Amino acid sequence: MSEDRFDLMIAEVDDYAIMYLDKTGIISTWNKGAEKIKGYRTDEILGKSFRIFYSEEDRRANLPEQLLEQARRQGKAVHEGWRIKKDGTRFWGSTTITAIHAGSDEVTGFIKMTRDLTEKKIMDDKLSNYLAEQKIAQDRLSAIAEELRQANEALKKSEERYHRMIAEVQDYAILLLDTHGIIQNWNTGAEYIKGYKEHEIVGKSFKVFYTKEDVAGGLPDFLLEEAAHSGKALHEGWRVRKDGSKFWGSIVITALHDSDGNIIGYSKVTRDLTEKKKADDRLKRYAVELERKNIELQRLNSELSSYAYVVSHDLKEPIRKIQVFAGRQRESNRSIEQLQEYSEKITTSAARMQKLMEDLLAYSQLEQDAELVAPVDLNKIIQGVLSDLELAIQDKKAAVHANSLPVVTGIAFQLSQLFNNLISNALKFSKPDEPPVIRLSCRQILPSAPEVENIGGIHKAMAYYEISVADNGIGFDEQYTKKIFEVFHRLDKSTPNSSGIGLAIVKRIMTNHQGYVTASSIPGEGSVFKLYFPI
């Protein structure tokens, strides 16, 4: 890598403050990123201690010295905390200090890399001041020839230090690309993060670090174009190591220019943020699980209220009747016919109590069991349900028409309960003077379908099977559309064999299957229940 291009790589990287410290922490070099982040010009900061960037509290605690000592003993020190800009304002800096060694194990200085993570505005470019100073320097050129000679000598030493800096930094993969994205150099951090030795990777395209999907989608070319157009490109995503494993990389690609403004290559800085990505994903999963548990708690609270209603109302009424008619049976002036009538009423009330308790038990046992989940052919489920309801269908002279239904993922016996309840309801609430006609049909609902916005309970980004169960029965008023799915809510109080739990079971089963159920009806014309199963 040429001197000029190497210099440009360091000078033009403006997302990282990169500087060289001597053994005592005195600043020897200063790059454009350091100027933007910390606010000092080169002539203001060279020769000063890096302690100037730390707060009074950190300096009293000797934090700067502790970081240098850690880097000296362990090779590097990593720290995040509040730092001080020239104007006294603070920014949150992520800092890596790496010890630089001579040929022996002696530490000759340190490389300090800092990035501003506060997402605040970066300071104004000081280029105009720099150009003005260069103009003054040119006017005084004849008087400072010796200074220029010394500066050139210092530049050679600075280049050597930069080479060592790039070679020994492990937390960042820092490399130079030509205008076509071909890798020109390789540092220890790149080898550590990506797994390639220098002789294995130099001369190859940087596309090798991207997944097949990203390469096919043109992401590497897009990032180079973005850097060429805007000066830099930032991206986070999965990258590929030599062994094929993946890591979550945060990258900054910066365009490098010659003195005429032409692009001569790119610098690429990458950091492995896999652990941070995993932690973020875990937090997201915890949040989703917490939301799910909150919803489940709300559902359980609602059901508890329903159970309380059953105990206080539905069960109390048949008990009251049993007590009343049992008392009347003990009266001496009752006829045989009256006693038989009272016995029948007591038996009916007891049967009603038993039915309520059985339905309550059935509803409470509708839990999801992952071991029972499997592909279920709904056509076979319907065949079984129609076989079970054969006598009721014959008694009602009903006609059941079912189109081809899909295979869904679920629990077979719960899905059988679901369709048994819906078809039984259609038979139970049919018109007395008209044979029931029940129709089952299915279609797919894609996320792009316009009707998705009108279906309140489904996920807008998922595809669903919509299965309709329509009848020509007595129907119900639309104001009860939501109430009919509540536990023990009966619209028709005159139906003694109805506990009001059938549709609550339907809703519970659809919830177990990550689905949704809706109902619509016109009184006297029939009802339509729509089931939404995720595909």
DSSP assignment of 30-49 equals --HHHHHHH---HHHHTTSB
The token duo for 220 is 């590497």
Q: Are 208 and 181 in contact (CB under 8 A)?
A: no
What are phi and psi for residue 334, nearest 5 degrees?
-90, 140
The token duo for 241 is 């190591």
Write down the H helix ranges in 310-446: 316-329, 336-364, 378-388, 390-396, 412-428
Tell me if 8 is assigned to some domain: no
Tell me if 353 is assigned to some domain: no
pLDDT value at residue 477: 81
Among residues 217, 240, 272, the one where a domain terminates is 272
Residues 126 and 223 occupy one common structural domain: no
* Number of domains composing the chain: 3
The token duo for 341 is 């009538």
Q: Are 472 and 437 in contact (CB under 8 A)?
A: yes
pLDDT value at residue 494: 44
Question: Cβ–Cβ contacts within 10 Å for residue 290, how many?
Answer: 10
Tell me if 493 is assigned to some domain: yes
pLDDT value at residue 356: 63
Among residues 103, 137, 168, the one where a domain terminates is 168
Question: Cβ–Cβ contacts within 10 Å for residue 472, how many?
Answer: 20
Q: How far apart are CA 72 and CA 54, in angstroms?
A: 19
Q: Which candidate, 36, 32, 165, 52, places its Cα nearest to that of 111? A: 165
pLDDT averaged over consecutive 10-residue blocks of the chain (535 residues)?
59 81 92 91 93 93 94 91 93 92 82 86 45 66 61 55 57 87 87 89 93 93 93 92 92 91 91 88 85 73 55 62 82 82 83 67 58 87 89 90 92 86 90 93 84 70 90 85 65 48 82 87 91 91
Among residues 141, 168, 195, the one where a domain terminates is 168
HSE-CB for 198 with a 13 A CA cutoff: 10
CATH number, domain of 435, equals 3.30.565.10
Q: Where are the beta strands (DSSP E) in 173-311?
A: 173-177, 232-240, 246-257, 263-272
Q: Which helix (H) or strand (E) holds 116?
A: strand 107-116
Partner residues linked to 470 by β-bridges: 439, 528
pLDDT value at residue 123: 46
Write down the H helix ranges in 197-249: 198-201, 212-216, 219-230
Amino acid code (one letter) for 234: L
CATH number, domain of 217, equals 3.30.450.20
Q: How far apart are CA 445 and CA 134, in angstroms?
A: 68
Partner residues linked to 182 by β-bridges: 205
Domain that holds residue 373: 368-535
Q: Are 221 and 233 in contact (CB under 8 A)?
A: no
This prediction has a pTM of: 0.39
Burial (CB count within 10 angstroms: exposed 0-12, middle 13-18, buried 19+), residue 342 = buried
Residues 200 and 241 occupy one common structural domain: yes
Amino acid code (one letter) for 237: G
Question: Rounded to whole angstroms, what are the CA distances from 73 to 110, 192, 337?
Answer: 12, 20, 104
Q: Are 19 and 34 in contact (CB under 8 A)?
A: yes
Amino acid code (one letter) for 25: G
Tell me if 85 is assigned to some domain: yes
Hunting for tokens 């194990």 — which residue is that? 105
The token duo for 430 is 């049919």
Tell me if 516 is assigned to some domain: yes
pLDDT value at residue 363: 57
The token duo for 181 is 């994205």
Q: Which candidate, 499, 494, 497, 502, places its Cα nearest to that of 519? A: 502
